[in-house]
Structure 1
């Protein structure tokens, strides 16, 4: 069966069928998946049963493997991660253990809008999310089309953001939890992180898009 990519008809995203990601993926199919991702920005593969090795293999379809936030920050492995979880995989969950401790790296609350690992000089280009247990209500993960966000800005505002930069602070995780290593931030202009342009040029499409990244302690 050939891979089929069906756009959602919304601002971004497409549904992908006709492939089992637990099996080896041919070079031809890898090219189809990569091209679909570039065009639609978010791809959804339904009804996939994947193991850790499958996820680690699949990531190479989208480019060289990056590092998790914990690895980038030198925070080490979470002590409560099961032994079978590879270091290159991050657990995100709203489930707590018997003592009330969250089982995931981002606590058991809601994560803020963010771009993964934007606090680094060279942010990652993609993230793979594999849903293991899905709630029958709530819990949606949302995505934004940042090409469209830029293109629909009023002309005067586009002139302001073109050429502007913002600081992407690493002082908090994506759920707003302070990272103790960076202490209390009293002056956001001195928050640890890196500076990125507010408007980036996509390396493949060569289209302009907004790059907002981190939220807390950011400034322009």
Structure 2
């Protein structure tokens, strides 16, 4: 169906679209919101250019899709607990998202979506890769789908959060949850692979060697270029991805240049 208020340009057959004809610095009408929502459901990650949103406009846009999530570890800017700072420069020892992951999958109710606005980007490099877990699941053999159906895996934040945000995390309680290896999208009904290299520790109720082997296969399978879109950032670009069916990876190929922005994350539901 043709959109009335925005233009949607598909970037690959499986994932990704660029949205034009809308200003996120202004309140959205009901039709605009619905068309943006529908584009996200169809393409799993959507991109906007030239959107110099301030922190309030950024949060307002996120709240259209649900309550905002507060990150369990990363310190926010003053007075804005819902904001995750994304910043790298010559003094950085690491960046967030260097491995494939779905945001905060260690939570009992992981975020439904994340909205990243970058206002400063390197002259070259710093792209983000996004991968469709719907497409990755669809490409599995029927035997593998049968094997994975009904399995659960443990996701933990400890291995990624320990020591990252504080020199003393003695009393830190790290989120840890169990989720289905294959989850069903609550709106589209599509199935997707829901394990990732950053947070998933093991598949439950199978021998560790079997778990390690299956996870290694799934990680390699999910990282195939066939399921990906690669986004090149410009100042004031915005990316909005559906964490329920997308993994992403941030490239750190621009050191010592600066890459800086804010992320708003929308609360989700318990995977099923």
TM-score, structure 1 length as denominator?
Answer: 0.79
CA offsets, 1:47-105, max 9 Å, x none? 111100011000022223222233xxxx7x36xx5x4x622111112115xxx3x4xxx
Asked if 1 retains the 8 angstrom alpha-carbon contact of 2:99 and 2:198, the reply is: yes
Q: Residue 26 of structure 1 is aligned with which of 24, 29, 37?
A: 29
State the alpha-carbon separation in 1 of the partners of residues 26 and 104 from structure 2.
29
Structure scoring higher RCO (CA < 8 A, sep ≥ 6) equals 2
Q: Residue 93 of structure 1 is aligned with which of 68, 72, 87?
A: 87
Instruction: Report which stretch shifted further, 58-67 or 142-151.
Output: 58-67
**Structure 2 residue 198 is the aligned partner of structure 1 residue 211:** no
**Structure 2 residue 149 is the aligned partner of structure 1 residue 162:** yes
Q: Residue 201 of structure 1 is aligned with which of 176, 184, 201?
A: 184
2:108 aligned partner: 121
1:186 aligned partner: none
In angstroms, what is the RMSD of aligned CA positions?
Answer: 2.8
Q: For residue 145 of structure 2, give the secondary structure of its aligned residue in structure 1.
A: helix
Question: Structure 1: which 5+ residue stretches go unaligned?
Answer: 184-190
Question: Structure 2: which 5+ residue stretches go unaligned?
Answer: 204-272
Residue 177 of structure 1: CA displacement?
4.5
Q: For residue 144 of structure 1, give the secondary structure of its aligned residue in structure 2.
A: strand
Q: Residue 65 of structure 1 is aligned with which of 65, 68, 71?
A: 68
Q: 1:17 to 1:201 in 2, by over 3 A?
A: same
Residue 6 of structure 1: CA displacement?
1.1
Q: 1:146 to 1:175 in 2, by over 3 A?
A: farther
State the alpha-carbon separation in 2 of the partners of residues 174 and 140 from structure 1.
23
1:47 aligned partner: 50
State the alpha-carbon separation in 2 of the partners of residues 142 and 159 from structure 1.
29
Residue 11 of structure 1: CA displacement?
2.5
CA offsets, 1:146-177, max 9 Å, x none? 11110101222212211111110110337995
Asked if 2 retains the 8 angstrom alpha-carbon contact of 1:119 and 1:194, the reply is: yes
